[in-house]
Amino acid sequence: MDFLNAIILLLNYIFVPALTYGSQLALGAIFVTLIYGILRFANFATGDMMSFGTMFTILFTWYFQSVGISLGVLPTALLAIPFAIIFMIGYMLLIDKFVFQYYRIKKSPPVQLAMVSIGVMFVTQAVVRIIIGPSDRRFFDGEKFLIRAGEFKDMTGLNEGLAIKSTQVITILVTVILVSTLFWFLNKTKTGKSMRAYSDNEDLALLSGIDPKKIVMITWIIAGILATIGGALYGLDKSFKPFTYFNNMLPIFAAAIVGGIGNPFGAFLGGYVIAFSEILLTYAYKKFFMYVLPESMEPDGLVQLLSTDYKFAVSFSILVIVLLYRPSGIFKGKVL
């Protein structure tokens, strides 16, 4: 019985939260790797672009709630996301036309484009704060829990309860569907194959008749979808605060680099590597060891390798280790 309690404890506090958090990081990491693989620069505005898309999701959610439109047990935000995606794509295409396109035509080096993206990051962050403010915003409605800890205890007779939030299940399911659709698009459709060809060899792709303007536009459209959905899922699960999305830039970039920058599948798995590493290393295992060890060997302290305050230090450490020992990432190979 104690062993089962220990397993439920890990599921409740490590596995399910890490799977959810990893899904959110994975979408951001694919965003980063897609921009890098096709447009050939590191977009440091990723976190704030996710924040921008989430802001419109919140605004449309509030509007639908004000006129009495909802999805019942599901969050109203799911209804708002498609409208937010339209505004997000429009914003990205606008930024590309008036900012990135100029440097792309000039054939500026990737470092210069990366520096420009930092400027875009500050502008985007300012716009979000002006429109919705810097405060914490909660926009979740509907059924909060699919399984409550108390109900689980009553059903099983265990001391530990398993609580699964509806946002966790929604995040995992939406991520699997979205990523599967993206991989199918990149590998099976004519446009997807053109994007991969453009990424692999731009000059040869142009000689083959591939329209670079179309490739750039499709890339930003996909990036807008990923940013809005990833940001909205993170906000639904944890609440929305603009500066939090800026902080998430480090684990998102770490996930993209760990998986192999330019490799969408690697970025997808890299999100889970970072999420599980952060949570495994910052969780306090005292209660777990109380279940699995004899009473005489029970620990006195928290048995915590790192405080949760150092969560981002885990991402940074993994990033440094990968850059030192395997710069190409886990999945070395062909971009896209």
| Residue ranges in the chain whose pLDDT is less than 50 | none
pLDDT at 1: 67
pLDDT at 79: 96
Class of residue 241 by CB neighbours under 10 A (exposed 0-12, middle 13-18, buried 19+) = middle
pLDDT at 239: 87
Whole-angstrom distance, CA of residue 98 vs CA of residue 100: 7
Is the backbone of residue 107 left (phi > 0), alpha (psi -120 to 50) or beta? left
pLDDT at 18: 96
What tokens appear for 257 in the block?
């680099």
pLDDT in tens, 110-135: 999 999 999 999 999 999 999 999 88
Whole-angstrom distance, CA of residue 55 vs CA of residue 137: 10
In 60-115, beta strands by DSSP E: none
